[in-house]
Amino acid sequence: MSLNLNSIRLGGKDVLPLIEGGKGVAISTGASSGPWAKAGGIGTISAVIADQYDAHGNVETHEYLGRTRADRHEEMIKYSVRGTVDQVRKAWEISKGEGHININMLWEVGSAQRILHEVLEKTKGMIHGVTCGAGMPFKLGELASKYGAHYYPIVSSGRAFNLLWKRAYKNVSELLGGVVYEDPWLAGGHNGLSNAEDPTKPGDPYPRVLELRNIMRKLGLGETPIIMAGGVWNLKEWKDWIDNKELGPIMFQFGTRPLLTKESQISDKWKKRLMELKSGDILLQNFSPTGFFSSALKNSFIGELVGRNDRQVDYAPKQSEEFNTEMVIDRKKYFVRGADVEKVQNWQSTGFQKAMKTPGDSLIFVTSQKCAEIRKDQADCVGCLSQCRFSSWATNEKNSTGRLADPRSFCIQKTLEDVSHEGSIDDNLVFAGHNAFRFGSDPFYSNGFVPTVKQLVDRIVSGD
């Protein structure tokens, strides 16, 4: 079939309207984004704790030696800058100036702006643009424009873009490369689901993207590309979106499909698992310490978090009519509802004997081993986020959110570092889009075929 997939002119260059989305940590690297750019599209390097190389080109492990969380936060910044610069250089060597290289930053990373400033300073002329999602990156336009780089905010509604534009981007309009619309129900990774949206009721992307376009038209941005991300598997299913006058210029971003290429740096066991997934194996949940919803593989890691959250009762420090029953756990006194006593006793008798307080005035019940692991992970915090629900670290003067650390969440830095470096696919957070199960049924991957990036891009261009 012919899709009539026209190139789009961006930053003085014609590129295919196809983007490999940024994937942290250390998943979308120079090795994957370089070939994507070489194939004529836009490759995106994740700038969050990216892998750095030693003098022989081997990946160096990130070791945190600082004694305080603030010291380790500085090390995290250093690693992110050094690693991203290494990855940009690698992508540049591979792509040889074809296509474009973007970098991606989670705005809620601790000291995100400092990392971006340092990376952009050291990679002038190599980076076309900066994409940024999760949160409201008001400063993104101003920051990128200091280095002559384009910027690409990631939003999940027209309303969010309108706010960003009115408050900040209108002053740096000429470098807005495009607006990424990320489907919050289908895309892999963190999602921008708002409080008003129901995680179980996916919204149709067409009217949402059209609303974004209509807002952009009113702002004089009718010809600025909108990048559709989330739930895009093949373009024959999106042909009504291509050359559609109502929607204007559209590009497509892929996050899940590029995980399975020869160049993709994820482990072979992860690649194998992708081919075995079934419909419904990906879960949209809100355990992340960032506070955002995210889509990930429903594995033992997620199962354990679900269990932790289920083994939960409300409590009060003082007796009241509602919290009328005293329980002594680990020599500490709590008042719980009478109806909850039996539940707690059952959990304790099946090994979940440790009670941990949450900031929601509740107790969760875990094994002694899990309790020790949670406490160790909180103590080992390297301050990777601007605000962390799990450890209560914040990148502020007090290095604290001022709230109680929440044991219902987890250390995202630890698990993403592990899974991106040969770690377990069962016992880690494994981000994936809801279409990931299609690897198993798409004939392109039959007999365990793993394409090169170029073969994947050619396949997508063909409509499949």
Ligand X SMILES: Cc1cc2nc3c(=O)[nH]c(=O)nc-3n(C[C@H](O)[C@H](O)[C@H](O)COP(=O)(O)O)c2cc1C
Q: How far is the CB of 89 from ligand X (least distance, A)?
A: 20
Residue 255 binding result from ligand X, ligand SF4, none, given CB thresholds of 5 to 8 Å by partner type: ligand X
Applying CB under 6 A, does 382 fall inside the site for ligand SF4?
yes
Rounded Cα distance, 150 and 114, in Å: 18
Three-class HEC string of 73-134: HHHHHHHHHHHHHHHHHHHHHHHCCCCEEEEEEECCECCHHHHHHHHHHHCCCCCCEEEEEC
Site string for ligand X, 98-127 (x = CB under 6 A): ------x-x---------------------
Identity of the residue, 105 or 176, whose beta carbon is nearer to ligand X in the bound complex: 105
Is residue 229 within 8 A of residue 182, CB to CB? The reply is yes
The stretch near ligand SF4 (CB under 6 A) out of 10-18, 96-104, 152-160, 410-418 is 410-418
The stretch near ligand SF4 (CB under 6 A) out of 112-120, 167-175, 226-234, 388-396 is 388-396
Q: How far is the CB of 332 from ligand X (least distance, A)?
A: 39
Q: Which of 37, 91, 175, 187 binds ligand X (CB under 6 A)?
A: 187
Residue 412 binding result from ligand X, ligand SF4, none, given CB thresholds of 5 to 8 Å by partner type: ligand SF4
Q: Which of 83, 192, 230, 248 binds ligand X (CB under 6 A)?
A: 230
Identity of the residue, 190 or 389, whose beta carbon is nearer to ligand X in the bound complex: 190
The stretch near ligand X (CB under 6 A) out of 68-76, 112-120, 373-381, 430-438 is 430-438
DSSP result, 247-270: T-SEEEEESSGGGSSSS--S-HHH
Q: Which of 312, 413, 428, 435 binds ligand SF4 (CB under 6 A)?
A: 413
Rounded Cα distance, 19 and 172, in Å: 23
Applying CB under 6 A, does 383 fall inside the site for ligand SF4?
yes
Applying CB under 6 A, does 411 fall inside the site for ligand SF4?
yes
Q: Which of 18, 313, 425, 432 binds ligand X (CB under 6 A)?
A: 432
Applying CB under 6 A, does 46 fall inside the site for ligand X?
yes
Rounded Cα distance, 29 and 103, in Å: 10
Nearest C-alpha neighbor of 178 from the set 8, 45, 13: 8
Residue 231 binding result from ligand SF4, ligand X, none, given CB thresholds of 5 to 8 Å by partner type: ligand X
Residue 249 binding result from ligand X, ligand SF4, none, given CB thresholds of 5 to 8 Å by partner type: none
Is residue 464 within 8 A of residue 48, CB to CB? The reply is no
CA dihedral 345, 346, 351, 357 (to 10 degrees): -50
Q: Which of 412, 436, 453, 456 binds ligand SF4 (CB under 6 A)?
A: 412
Applying CB under 6 A, does 433 fall inside the site for ligand X?
yes
Q: Which of 384, 425, 453, 460 binds ligand SF4 (CB under 6 A)?
A: 384
Is residue 212 within 8 A of residue 226, CB to CB? The reply is yes
Q: How far is the CB of 389 from ligand SF4 (least distance, A)?
A: 8
Nearest C-alpha neighbor of 412 from the set 1, 24, 143: 24
Nearest C-alpha neighbor of 360 from the set 399, 323, 389, 331: 389
Residue 325 β-bridge partners: 336
Applying CB under 6 A, does 23 fall inside the site for ligand X?
yes
Is residue 52 within 8 A of residue 83, CB to CB? The reply is yes
Q: Tell me how many degrees the CA angle 273-275-278 measures, rounded to the nearest 5.
A: 90
Helix, strand, coil percentages in the chain from 3-state DSSP, rounded to 5: 35, 20, 45
Question: 396: Cβ–Cβ under 8 A, 6 or more apart, which residues?
Answer: none
Q: How far is the CB of 395 from ligand SF4 (least distance, A)?
A: 9
Q: CA Rg, the chain, in Å?
A: 23
Peptide bond between residue 85 and the one before it cis (omega within 30 degrees of 0): no
Q: Which residues bind ligand SF4 (CB under 6 A)?
A: 289, 381-385, 388, 390-391, 393, 411-413
Sites of contact with ligand X (CB under 6 A) = 21-24, 27, 46, 48, 104, 106, 133, 154, 182, 186-189, 229-231, 253-256, 431-433, 435
